[in-house]
Structure 1
Amino acid sequence: MMTISRLLSIIVFSLMFYGCAAPYKPVPEGYTGSIAYVEDTYSHKQTSTAHFYELAMVNGRHIESSWGATRSRNYGRGREFDPVMVKRRLPAEPLEVTIQAYQFFSTDFESMIGDNYLLQHTFNFTPKANEEYRVKGDVLWLRTSVWLEDSNGEKVEGSFLSLEAIDRKEKLKTDKEKRRKEKKEKKLKQNSSI
């Protein structure tokens, strides 16, 4: 039987990807500065699951996801799917980025009953001009890890995060409470300015 915390994590995870607004584009139209690239990756593909490692947010704003691209491209295929990894352009300037590792499920039913082992990590990062980065990780029952690698396979400083299963669940809970508090403070600030 599904626990309340699992159901809530599924709802939160789904809402991250089903936003009404178009995803944020970190490189605006007409940008003439230097750029770098970040590509999502995957591993352990099976019939209806895979481990996805992706760039989720830039400067606190959601961007195009490999989860959404994969679900969209494979719509109507049932449990079968081919992963679609997104490669994004980023300005070569100081950024706050959020990377994540999780288990992808090809069907809604599986995502409701399975544990996605979601781990998100936010850190400050200044991409090097013309560098190609890849989000990498491990998604295991006991531990989930995520990091960013440069084109030489070196981990980007500050990008590595690895948590045991129990710590991962506590981090999700803490992050959720932090987002709720920030949302409440923002709403109070908006109401006080009216």
Structure 2
Amino acid sequence: MKAALALASALALAGCAGLEPATPPDYTGPTVNVADQAVPAGGQLLHVFEMTQVDGRRLMATSMATVRANQGRGFGVSPVALSNELPLRPARVRLQALTQYGTPILAMTNPTCRTEGEVVFTPEAGKAYRVAGRIAAEACEVWIEDSATKQSVTDKVSGKGAGP
């Protein structure tokens, strides 16, 4: 539970310094869209599936944007899902699945999940992708899938579940 509070505090205090776009500034070729997801699981809880880095570049993440958008709103939380444009070439992508509550006190007193890891992702032209996952008592998982087919296109990153 202390980890959940530390995460919430870090997200609330995180600044934009050091954040970069998913596509390198010198890249001029075609790109594909990869959308994060923030799935409501009650008025005070979201399940967030996001991309936080591409080839070592730290991105503005859905969890950070959601914290900022919901500051001062009490216990409720409304999702702010971001998306990124990636070049058509293989990339090392850091994915994260987490539970995000409206306030840090809720994270201290309820089940939480946070798992992250790196996968290799090779996007294809003409496709759209989304970061998907599962948060359950037994496991927390995150991966990238084809938006149209809902088929996984990366390995899954798995971690400890949100259960007791």
Aligned to 1:111: 107
1:30-41 to 2 correspondences below 5 Å: 31-41=27-37
Q: Distance in 2 between matches of 1:125 and 1:14?
A: 30
Shift of 1:62: 2.0
User: Quick one: distance in 1 between partners of 2:117 and 2:17?
Assistant: 23
Aligned residue runs from structure 1 range 89-108, under 5 A? 89-108=85-104
**Offset of residue 29 of structure 1:** 4.0
Instruction: Let me know the Cα RMSD of the aligned residues.
Output: 2.4
Match of 1:59 in 2: 55
- Does residue 125 in structure 1 map to residue 121 in structure 2? yes
Q: Which residues of structure 2 form unaligned runs of 5+?
A: none
Partner of 1:150: 146
In structure 2, relative to structure 1, the CA distance for the partners of 1:123 and 1:160 (3 Å cut) is: same
Aligned partner letter, 1:7: K
Give the aligned partner of residue 88 of structure 1: 84
Higher strand share: 2
For structure 1, the residue ranges without an aligned partner over 5 or more in a row are 1-5, 167-194
**Change over 3 Å in CA distance of 1:37–1:120 after alignment to 2:** same
Equivalent residue for 1:169?
none
> Residue by residue, what CA displacement relative to the aligned partner does 1:11-46 show, whole Å, maximum 9, x if unpaired?
257546725624121224463211011101133521
1:3-18 alignment runs, 5 A limit: 6-8=1-3, 10-11=5-6, 14-15=9-10, 18=14
Aligned residue-pair number: 160
Opposite residue 143 of structure 2, the aligned amino acid is W
TM-score by length of 2: 0.83
Q: Look up the match of 1:42.
A: 38
Bigger fraction of residues in helix? 1
TM-score where L is the length of structure 1: 0.71
1-structure distance, mates of 2:111, 2:36: 21
For 1:76 and 1:55, locate their aligned partners in 2 and report how far apart those are by CA, in whole Å.
26
Question: Secondary structure at the residue paired with 2:64?
Answer: helix
Q: What CA distance in whole angstroms lies between the structure 1 residues aligned with 2:3 and 2:101?
A: 17
Question: Structure 2: how far apart are the matches of 1:164 and 1:111?
Answer: 16
The structure 1 segments of at least 4 consecutive aligned residues displaced by more than 6 Å after TM superposition are: none
